[in-house]
Structure 1
Amino acid sequence: MGRGKIEIKRIENTTNRQVTFSKRRNGLLKKAYELSVLCDAEVAVVIFSSRGKLYEFANKSVNRTIERYKKICAKEMQWEPTTSSLMKCCQTEVGNLKQEIDILTKTNRNLMGDNLSSLSMNELSILEAHIERGIKCIRSKKNEILHEEIKATHEREQMLLVQNQFLRNKIAECQNAEGSVQLHIYKEAPPQFDTQDLLQRNLVDASHEHSQEDLSITQFNLQPREES
């Protein structure tokens, strides 16, 4: 049969309490050792009996583990007020930013001509001065940009004129060079005559002369003879 469930309460019998303390103390120290070995953990156990006797276990050093524990606790204690103060600063900053956003939103609406009924005469005068100053700045910037664009246009125009003149000069040089080459070729190569064409012309001229002679003879023979 299994062991029954033990009620967790103070043992009144001194002898039984001492025996239970010894058994459970040894079991606790054994479990601490097993935990340090199996899990590679830094373990320290400190036990004081009811008579004030000290029992301890540490896989490294009890003092070292306690010092490490104190440092971690000190950092956490310092972090808590730091975090709290940081949160307060953030909340204050958020509140200030919200106020600035509200002011800027209201000013922007006033500049657009909205919500002017709640403004006094002095506030309206200040708003008017801001608008006029803004208009002057805008016009000045527009004129500056316009002058820069005009200057750039003139520079491009001058550059195009220079390129155009350069191309004209190149075309004129090419035309002069082409004319000189043609004249040089004409001087070196005299005109050639077509021999066949010349022969045909001579034959035509000779035939024409023979025709004229035959016509003269025919006319001479056809003239009437005078009677004797």
Structure 2
Amino acid sequence: MDQDDKIAKKGRNKIKIAPIANSKARSTTFSKRRFGLFKKAYELSDLTRSHVKILVITDKGCLYEYASPCFESKLKSVKKVVPMMTNERILKVSQTLNGSGL
């Protein structure tokens, strides 16, 4: 194991982010992470009184959606739109913040 593989935070090991080849493992991971993502969106909305919407489309074309209460009505009152976060922007910001990336 190299040094990057041994990095631990709060008792959890850092895993390398790479596509999962096994379809059953990929499906299980997707379900767990989707729930975690939606839970974090709920927490963000609840803690900050913000309105959150997440759309996830799987490789099989299934759409999963989370929206905080009253999201659609609040969308009509948006005053400023900031650029969408893309994979490239997330990696760039992450590298800037902690010097290493994801």
- Mark yes or no: TM-score above 0.5: yes
Superposition RMSD in Å: 2.5
Unpaired runs of at least 5, structure 1? 74-228
Please state if 1:36 is matched with 2:37: no
Residues of 2 paired with 1:50 and 1:38: CA distance? 32
Asked if the contact 1:47–1:54 (Cα under 8 Å) also holds between the matched residues in 2, the reply is yes
Deviations for 1:154-200, whole angstroms, at most 9, x for unmatched residues? xxxxxxxxxxxxxxxxxxxxxxxxxxxxxxxxxxxxxxxxxxxxxxx
- The equivalent of 1:26 in structure 2 is 35
Equivalent in 57, 62, 67 of residue 58 of structure 1: 67
Q: How does 1:157-196 map to 2 (within 5 A)?
A: none
User: Percent same amino acid among aligned pairs?
Assistant: 44
The one-letter code sitting in structure 1 at the alignment partner of 2:28 is V
Asked if the contact 2:51–2:71 (Cα under 8 Å) also holds between the matched residues in 1, the reply is no
Unpaired runs of at least 5, structure 2? 1-10, 82-102
- Aligned in 2, Cα 1:41/1:65: closer, same or farther, shift over 3 Å? same
SS in 2 for 1:57: strand
Structure number with higher strand proportion: 2
Residues of 1 paired with 2:76 and 2:33: CA distance? 27
Q: How does 1:74-89 map to 2 (within 5 A)?
A: none
Residues of 1 paired with 2:48 and 2:71: CA distance? 18
- Aligned in 2, Cα 1:66/1:51: closer, same or farther, shift over 3 Å? farther
Structure number with higher helix proportion: 1
- The equivalent of 2:56 in structure 1 is 47
The one-letter code sitting in structure 2 at the alignment partner of 1:54 is L
Asked if the contact 1:44–1:65 (Cα under 8 Å) also holds between the matched residues in 2, the reply is no
Please report how far the alpha carbon of residue 49 of structure 1 lies from its aligned counterpart in structure 2 after TM superposition: 1.3
Residues of 2 paired with 1:14 and 1:65: CA distance? 38
Please state if 1:4 is matched with 2:19: no
Q: Higher Cα Rg: structure 1 or 2? A: 1
